[in-house]
Homo-oligomer: A and B are copies of this chain.
Amino acid sequence: MSTTESRKPATIDAIAKKSLSALGIDLGGTKIRAAIVRQNQMIGEPHQIKTPEGREQILAALYDLIAMFQNEAILGGIGIATAGIVDCTTGEIVGSTGNLPGWSGTKLKEVIESKFLLPVHVENDANAAAYAESRVDALKEKKCVVTVTLGTGIGGGIVIEGKLYHGAAWGAGEIGHIKIAQDNKRMCTCGLFDCWEAFGSGRGLVITAQEMLQNVSADQSPLAEKTESLTTHDIFAAADQDDFIAKKIVQRWHEHIMHGLVCIAHILNPDCYVLTGGLSDFVDFELLKEMVIDRCLPRIADAIDIRKSELAGQAGIIGAAQFALDELLTASQS
């Protein structure tokens, strides 16, 4: 665009597009959070409720939430990030999710659209988060951004040249189920053995700790006293207090995270990993990056950056809403 053109006053149409906002909803196993989103940014703090049990109860809660926001703002659309594998064309939950029993099979886009007469985009939560993460200013020029959510499980999303990659059956980015050990060492909650998530998630970390503490006395580490009721918080707190055994456990956890990142690196050759989720607060990024680079082919290692999310848990909300907005804008252009 020439300077002359860019100095023309903006058209009403362009201004209207820029000011379009959508409701972003992040539907998780324990809580539902929602906020208005405009141009990749949340307007105000998200509203949060507890996730009720059962499909009908969840839908009723969503209806209330949307109606509430409709009273507050003019919505261009609604974006919903949900656990489970989602067919984004139909907006149906097509793959099971342990965190939301009975949720699979829900035609979420259809039911919400017919009730509110607004365009709805439904997306897997890790994918929605990855989409938002890849759009922050620092990463816009990256070729391949892989977002890794470290929480109770491990989720992921792959953005290639600005576009979310969904795979052949909406299942791409299920990176928690990369196989990182041989011979059925540890069972994952999905029923498969040796998934990355069975080692690198919060749940995995606790199991690693329990294994490593088997022959450790309470003298050597206070953690040994409460092996059965151990939490990730206990482990990180002990490591923080220079408990030698706890530090070894945390180091081992970093090795497990490294393993998955190394696998992804030799397949996708990404130029950025974004780590998010509750456990990313406890990652030693210097150490992890060193471990990963040390275990990749030089050409692939050189390209890798590993960052912590800047979006502080809001990425699901922002990404879901932004999908809805992008669809609106694309539709208005055609």
Contacts and interface: CB of A to CB of B under 8 A. Distances in A.
Contact of A171 (B142, B178, B264, B297): B297
Interface stretch (A39-47, A236-244, A299-307): A299-307
A254 to B, nearest CB: 13
* Count of this chain's copies in the oligomeric assembly: 2
Nearest to A264: B267
Interface stretch (A23-31, A50-58, A162-170, A314-322): A162-170
A94 interface: yes
Nearest to A160: B165
A303 B174 CA distance: 14
A175 B267 contact: yes
A259 interface: yes
A167 B144 contact: yes
A143 interface: yes
A158, A160, A165, A267: most-surrounded residue (chain B CB, <10 A)? A267
A169 B262 contact: no
A167 B85 CA distance: 25
Interface in A174-206: 174-182, 190, 192-193
Nearest to A262: B179
A295 interface: yes
A263 B192 contact: no
B267 A263 contact: yes
Contacts of A156: 267
A158 B172 CA distance: 14
Contacts of A94: 299
A256 to B, nearest CB: 8
Interface string A287-327: 00000000111111011000000000000000000000000
Given A178-B267, A179-B262, A143 B167 contact: yes
Contact of A297 (B143, B177, B264, B295): B177
A88 to B, nearest CB: 13
Interface of A: 85, 94-96, 142-144, 156, 158, 160, 165-182, 190, 192-193, 255, 259, 262-264, 266-271, 295-300, 302-303
